[in-house]
Structure 1
Amino acid sequence: MKIHILTFLFLVLFFSCNSKEEVDLIIYNANIYTVDDSFSTANAMAIKDGEFVAVSEDNLENYMAKEEIDAKGKTIVPGLFDAHCHFYGLGLTQQVVNLRGTTSYDDILQKVANFHKEKPSNVIQGRGWDQNDWEEKEFPTKDKLDKLFPDTPVVLERVDGHAYLVNQKALDLAGINNETNVEGGEIVKDNSGNITGVLVDNPMGLIDAVIPKPTRATQIQALKDAQELCFDYGLTTVNDAGLNKETIELIDSLQQAGELDIRVYAMISNNKENLDYYLPKGIVKTDKLNVRSVKVYGDGALGSRGAALREPYSDKPGHFGAMITPVDAIESLAKRIAASDYQMNTHAIGDSANIAVLRAYAKALPDGADRRWKIEHAQVVSENDFQYFGTGIIPSIQPTHATSDMYWAEDRLGEERVKGAYAFKTLLDNAGMVVLGTDFPVEKVSPFLTFYAAVARQDLETYPDGGYQMKDALSREETLKGMTIWAAYSNFEEDEKGSIEVGKKADFVILSDNIMEVPTSQIPNLKAEQVFVGGEKVK
């Protein structure tokens, strides 16, 4: 009798196990923010063939897994997006002298000298200086660089990517002299009319034309270095704001070969070669690459006084900044892109640039068209112009710009105009969504700093007390949506990622603590403990 009972139990267990569907991974005992339509939470999920097949413990009884993870109560969120960054640029900065955090011009010179001693080259390049961080908050001049490096060209990029400091050797190679004139920027001169070595926006292209291009090996290493940094912080999709065909094809080849796993939403740089190739070709979409948008530069940056303003800079009378792309060119470009399948994503910092781009969009787009065109940055907007965002235009904003610029933004803009700057909540109320990024390597890579800046609007020393212009702070739920489902929507990817739901790609992050509940001051210290792309662990 005992034998018959044991046989029966064995058969029940055998058929029970065999009636269950085998999946690749089950995670249980978790605190999962799904970021679905109701912003629901769940405690478990199952993954098969790179997609979520079940979410919540109640739905797991029909599955058995090759691998199981006890999350031990840890918080899980969808894979994080950086909706505006320079992924390839981040990788390239790892190959040159890092000038972030320098506190003076002399500090820069020392770092450059040390770097060149360790890694001598025919051209010295660096990035990250910001004169606003120095006691003397004025642009540097090339005099000391000329003395240190009379025979080696030196090109040092400002943190925002909108200005170079170069030495005389670099100027000579580029053929730049006191008579050189380039529209859409500035060749900065001293009171005597002599070139200082600082080039803002379009004149930088003259230097770019004579700097040796990175080798293919350097390009590949740059992409891999950037991926490692992004995965370390839980980023699974990056929107690279401006790539050329050669780099896009290199990314694709590395992804297809399994050497690059991060998902890339590629905005093609606005130049003739890219437009002539991609617009007729149409959208290029693979599992990890999405090419369907054009990145256009409206104006420059506020920190280098290149942003185009309606009224002069408060700290530089008579100076309005400049449009990098003239208004008529933006309007004709908008019409051309509107006739294609591509999205138009335009950098606009100053209030003059924002209204010029918003009007161009309004002229080019048919009423009710679901084109999801974006304003990248939307940093300074006049009160009457926010309404344009209610027509389906999406603000793509970078919260850490507010906390980096808040120390001097009012100096640039004045007490009244600054009220329309970094207006994240006002933009959200008008547009119905905002998408969040960092603009790295302009800012640090960490999405946790993005989250903190959006919610607390303070620096890491909790300055200012009570937060900066808190009427435009975002809630934690709004912030997480801006880094996940809203970002996915802005990329036309909301049906495949951006939330933890059945049928979507299994991109997710296991966090060190609950980002929705920890004290605000602890948000910057959060860690991405485990990161998955398509159900595969990448960290």
Structure 2
Amino acid sequence: MKKILLFACIITTLFSCQKEKADLIIINSNTYSVNDNFDKVEAFAVKDGKFIAVGTSKEIQEKYQSKNTIDAKNQTIVPGLIDAHCHFFGLGLSEQKVNLRGTKSYDEVLEKLVAFQKEKNTSFITGRGWDQNDWEVKEFPTKEKLDKLFPTIPVAIGRIDGHALLVNQAAIDFSEITKDTKVSGGEIMMKGGEMTGVLIDEAMDFIKFPSISKKEAIQGLLDAQKISFSYGLTTVDDAGLPRFAIELIDSLQKANDLKMRIYAMVSADNQEQIDYYISKGITKTDRLNVRSFKVYGDGALGSRGAALRKSYSDRENHFGALIYTPKRYQEIAKQIAASEFQMNTHAIGDSANTWMLKTYKEALKGEKNRRWRIEHAQIVSNDDFKNFDNILPSVQPTHATSDMYWAKDRIGKDRMKGAYAYKKLLNTYGKIALGTDFPVEQVNPFLTFYAATIRKDLNNYPENGFQIENVLTREETLKGMTLWAAYANFEEDEKGSIEVGKFADFVILNQNIMEVNGSEIPKTKVISTFLNGEKVY
């Protein structure tokens, strides 16, 4: 009997030795691989930061062994989520300033400013997040109350979309601007011949803000990373970064202090920066990809800065405006087309979309795989949808459910047919990249998933969904937040799905977003986030 037991132990030991070693094994999971067949798998193994095998629990356990084996107990796992359009650095900086998101009145904004200043005692008050469309009085605020509360301390607070700024007289005086300051591509709002304190788009550039300290910038990036990992994000597309921020990100990643993967869109707001990066060429590491430029086509619909082909329905003879001249967009597109870089342009209004699509087509000359992107593609004329055949739409579904209460007032019934038309855009290009535009919207990607698939707000409004003909399926939505978003970044061969050879980025969820009742989707929580097989949340 002892000999039999000894023989069995030897066989077991020999069999165990034949198994390949892995750094991490996941078994008994409900994993959506998001591969070409959208297969579900039970288990996978990870080594050196990449997936080395996927299959059944039995298959993986028979071939691999690891000191770190996790029994998922049928919990749902999806690839690491990718936010295809956000402002990661901006989120971090906003964490260092007064947060005005969710305020329900101008008076509440003022209360928050007073409380912030009492705590921080800063020499220049900045913040972001107010939205007059959420107030009972849905009009832009004016600076009179700000002037009384802060007669000597400059105050400059941004609207939630980043396309309007409310400033007090102290900030105006500090910045040396007047009602006669000439503005192109924006507006200094006036009332009774005097400045109201609201600046739109390019007019905001006249305000002189205090410089961002390196310490503040670093803390901001680390804060943004912590928040993003908690929501299952493993890659973020930062839509518009200055050179100093990109170089700081690179240094923090090299020091292993910043682990988040970042697709950096270089801000194309000055020629010097465009020239520098085109001359430098694409920068690509496992964590940083610098190969695109972010261009602004127009402003936002909420501040009536979006460029429309016909007048706003709620403001006669007002059309919004392009940020630059048409000729300037042609110059930028021609220069980028001659390089290997991608061009990604913010286009909200139908006029901006028309012009940018035309400009892209002329610059690309029929090229099919440049993956140039229209960011937002919010209001598209019916005859322009066909032009997305080789132009990739990058949209943010929560914009639809945030704007649905007032968008019709801005543009009227007819133009609404081509607004937030995500299914129509998907059907034209074949793929769609999904993001949040945080901190304009919340970071939470499950609100993106909910808005795309259910098209309602958190109070179940509207009952039948907002323009439900443009709803995306859950499979399309998950692809838009993983594989298609990776494709939009030229990274589909290294991330976006749980397949052998790709980075081991994945997320364990507390419920199955592919099957739960639609109303339950926003309640989804991240149990764990893994990047390179390392647990980062």
The TM-score, its normalising length taken from structure 1, stands at 0.98
What aligned pairs does 1:124-523 form with structure 2 within 5 A after superposition?
Answer: 124-190=125-191, 192-207=192-207, 210-270=208-268, 271-390=270-389, 392-523=390-521
Report which stretch shifted further, 268-277 or 517-526. Answer: 268-277
- 2:74 maps to 1:76: no
Which secondary structure does the structure 1 equivalent of 2:66 belong to? strand
> Where does residue 6 of structure 2 map in the other structure?
7
Give the Cα separation in 2 of the matches to 1:440 and 1:494: 23
Aligned residue identity for 1:304: S
Instruction: Please give the per-residue CA displacement for 1:369-389, whole angstroms capped at 9, x wherever unaligned.
Output: 411000000000000100001
Determine helix, strand or coil for the equivalent of 1:318: coil
Q: 2: distance between equivalents of 1:395 and 1:174?
A: 38
SS in 2 for 1:295: strand
> Is the contact between residue 346 and residue 374 of structure 1 (CA under 8 Å) also seen in structure 2?
yes
In structure 2, what residue type is equivalent to 1:111? K
Output the CA distance in 2 between the equivalents of 1:160 and 1:15. 63
Q: Deviations over 1:404-454 (max 9, x none)?
A: 000000000001111110000010011111100000000000000000000
Distance 2:41 2:92 in 1: 36
Alignment check: 8 A CA contact 1:184 1:324 kept: yes
Question: Shift of the alpha carbon at 1:325?
Answer: 2.1
Amino acid at match of 1:25: L
Retained in 2: the 8 A contact 1:267–1:292?
A: yes
TM-aligned CA deviation for residue 185 of structure 1: 0.6
Q: Residues 476-499 of structure 1, C-alpha deviation per residue, up to 9 Å, x if partnerless?
A: 000000000000001000000000
CA separation of 1:359/1:114 partners in 2, compared to 1, >3 Å: closer, same or farther?
same
Quick one: distance in 2 between partners of 1:326 and 1:450?
Answer: 33
Q: Is the 8 A contact 1:54 1:502 kept in 2?
A: yes
In 1, Cα distance between equivalents of 2:10 and 2:365? 65
Gaps of 5+ in 2: none
Pairwise CA distance, 1:3: 4.2
CA-CA distance at 1:4 after TM superposition: 3.4
Q: Deviations over 1:235-280 (max 9, x none)?
A: 1100000001110111111111111111000000002232121111
Give the 3-state SS of the residue equivalent to 2:417 in structure 1.
helix
Please tell me the residue identity of whatever aligns with 2:245: T
- After superposition, the CA RMSD in angstroms is 0.8
Q: What are the ranges of 5 or more consecutive residues in structure 1 without an aligned counterpart?
A: none
Structure 1 CA distance, aligned partners of 2:30 and 2:179? Answer: 63
Q: Distance in 1 between matches of 2:118 and 2:282?
A: 46
Q: Distance in 1 between matches of 2:287 and 2:181?
A: 44
How far does residue 285 in structure 1 lie from its aligned partner after superposition?
0.6
Give, in whole Å, the separation in 1 of the partners of 2:411 and 2:528: 42
Give the distance between the partners of 2:174 and 2:322, measured in 1 at CA. 26
The yes-or-no answer on 1:88 pairing with 2:86 is no
Q: Which amino acid aligns with 2:33?
A: T
The one-letter code matched in structure 1 to 2:181 is T
Provide the C-alpha distance between the structure 1 equivalents of 2:363 and 2:285, rounded to a whole number of angstroms. 29
Distance of 1:19 and 1:188 partners within structure 2? 74
Paired AA for residue 187 in structure 2? E
Does structure 2 retain, via aligned residues, the 8 Å contact 1:240–1:267? yes
SS, match of residue 23 in structure 2? strand
Equivalents in 1 of 2:451, 2:120: separation in Å? 36
Q: Is the 8 A contact 1:280 1:340 kept in 2?
A: no
Instruction: State the shift of 1:7 in Å.
Output: 3.3
Contact 1:484 1:499 in 2 (8 A): yes
SS in 2 for 1:69: strand
1:303 is displaced (CA, Å) by 0.2
Give the 3-state SS of the residue equivalent to 2:85 in structure 1. strand
Q: Which one-letter code corresponds to 1:178 in the other structure?
A: K
Question: What is the deviation of 1:83?
Answer: 0.2
Q: Helix, strand or coil for the counterpart of 2:519?
A: helix
Q: Percent identity?
A: 60
Using the TM superposition, give the Cα deviation of residue 504 of structure 1 relative to its aligned residue in structure 2, in angstroms: 0.4
Q: Is the 8 A contact 1:240 1:266 kept in 2?
A: yes
- Alignment match, 1:56: 55
- CA contact under 8 A between 1:185 and 1:203: conserved in structure 2? yes
What is the CA deviation profile of residues 277-300 of structure 1, one whole-angstrom value per residue up to 9, with x for unaligned ones? 111111101110000000000000
What is the distance in 2 between the residues matched to 1:314 and 1:439?
Answer: 26
- Partner secondary structure for residue 171 of structure 2: helix
Matches of 2:308 and 2:102 in 1, distance apart?
A: 28
Q: How many residues align?
A: 534
Q: Partners in 2 of 1:461 and 1:509 — Cα distance?
A: 27
1:128-170: CA deviation from partner (whole Å, max 9, x where unpaired): 0000011110100001101111100000000000010000111
Q: Give deviations 1:386-410, integer Å, cap 9, x for gaps.
A: 00011x2100000000000000000
| Distance in 1, Cα, partners of 2:325 & 2:522 | 39
Displaced runs of 4 or more, over 3 A:
none
Distance (Å, rounded) in 2 between the aligned partners of 1:493 and 1:101: 35
Match of 1:37 in 2: 36
